[in-house]
Amino acid sequence: MTKIITAENIDEAAKCIADGGTVVFPTETVYGLGADALDDDAVLKIFTAKGRPADNPLIVHIAHRDDVYKLASEVSEDAKKLMDKFFPGPLTLIMKKSDIVGGKVTAGLDTVAIRMPSNPIANELIDKSGCFIAAPSANLSGSPSPTVARHVIDDMDGRVDYIIDGGSSQVGLESTVVDVSGDVPEILRPGKITYEDLKEVVPNILINKGILAETDKPKSPGMKYKHYAPKADVTVVMGSKVNVRKYIESHIADGVGVLTYKGGSYGDAFVINAGDNMEEYANGLFYNLRLFDENGVHTVYAEFSDEGGIGLAVKNRLFKSAGHKTVDADNLI
């Protein structure tokens, strides 16, 4: 039985974590499915609840910056600069792991992913549990990450001990993941903290090529799995406004939905506006993908335009949800 609570009853949920149980909690990015990161049996429950492949490591969440030094054996100067600027917040840092970190949470790697969330409920839960909390996004493996408690319940009811309803996630996409375990920092997953933001702090930072390409030799194990996909079949359509519209209009049929960018309608088709800028697109993306499924849409055409900034994170998630099916409406053969 899953107990659905609010932050008022957080003490129960913190005790559950300390006792080796599982708790879904809100963070500023997406909801996380948490358990004691240093308890291998508890960590195993996360993999089982999500149906997650055992070779995909989890992020360890902390409530205090200094806890990094307990989990990591080496903290580089770049890592310190990034922590000073962006902890707490939507940034995950990969570092060489210390001996207290077990093999389940890191999927056997010698590195550990560490994040200090800024959401006060997340922080209180970590603090009160007295544990470091391992937490992937709280969706069934492969589905879009949940950004509201209702979507958590759809996926996780009966699979976890507690769900804490903390309203809507502010960011809507998962944290930016940066590997600082080597000589040069590298972005493994883009997010709200953008390449441009990071470059101001560590100018030599690189973007891993796997972010936008399909690859079977990724640096981050999570990159190789089909991710974020709704049940509907998604195609991303790019190009000039006029050509994008022409292409999508010619594909409208029963059960076809459109994710528009900056508004507009397509006759009787089920349309969701992704927003007027990339921040809004990011914030609503996973929510909207689930909304298409809930409305019986089997095929989605998504308008998209390459704008950099947080647009890179949107592109990464959207392309994955489409299985990299994209159309350049300006260059149709």
Tell me which of 76, 147, 175, 283 binds ligand TXA, using CB under 6 A.
175
Length of the chain in residues, anyone? Answer: 333
Tell me which of 20, 102, 221, 323 binds ligand TXA, using CB under 6 A.
221
- By the rule CB under 6 A, 43 interacts with ligand TXA: no
Q: Give, as ranges, the residues between 76 and 135 that touch ligand TXA (CB under 6 A).
A: 92, 94, 106, 109, 111-113, 115, 135
Beta bridge partners, 235, equal 301
Q: What is the DSSP letter of 67?
A: G
In single-letter form, the type of residue at position 248 comes to I
Find the helix or strand (DSSP H, E) in which 200 lies. Answer: helix 195-201
Phi, psi of 297 (to 5 degrees): -80, 130
- By the rule CB under 6 A, 58 interacts with ligand TXA: yes
- By the rule CB under 6 A, 29 interacts with ligand TXA: yes
Q: Which one, 123 or 137, has the nearer CB to Mg ion?
A: 137
Token match 């997406």: residue? Answer: 30
- By the rule CB under 6 A, 146 interacts with ligand TXA: no
By the criterion CB under 5 A, which residues form the site for Mg ion? Answer: 137
| Sign of the Cα pseudo-torsion (74, 77, 78, 82, in order) | positive
- By the rule CB under 6 A, 208 interacts with ligand TXA: no
Q: Which one, 59 or 289, has the nearer CB to ligand TXA?
A: 59
CB 96 within 8 A of CB 118: no
- By the rule CB under 6 A, 245 interacts with ligand TXA: no
How far apart (Å, rounded) are the C-alpha atoms in residues 184 and 52?
Answer: 30
How far apart (Å, rounded) are the C-alpha atoms in residues 268 and 5?
Answer: 40
The footprint of ligand TXA on this chain (CB under 6 A) covers a number of residues equal to 27
Contact residues for ligand TXA, defined by CB under 6 A: 27, 29-30, 32, 56-59, 92, 94, 106, 109, 111-113, 115, 135-137, 174-175, 177, 188-189, 220-222
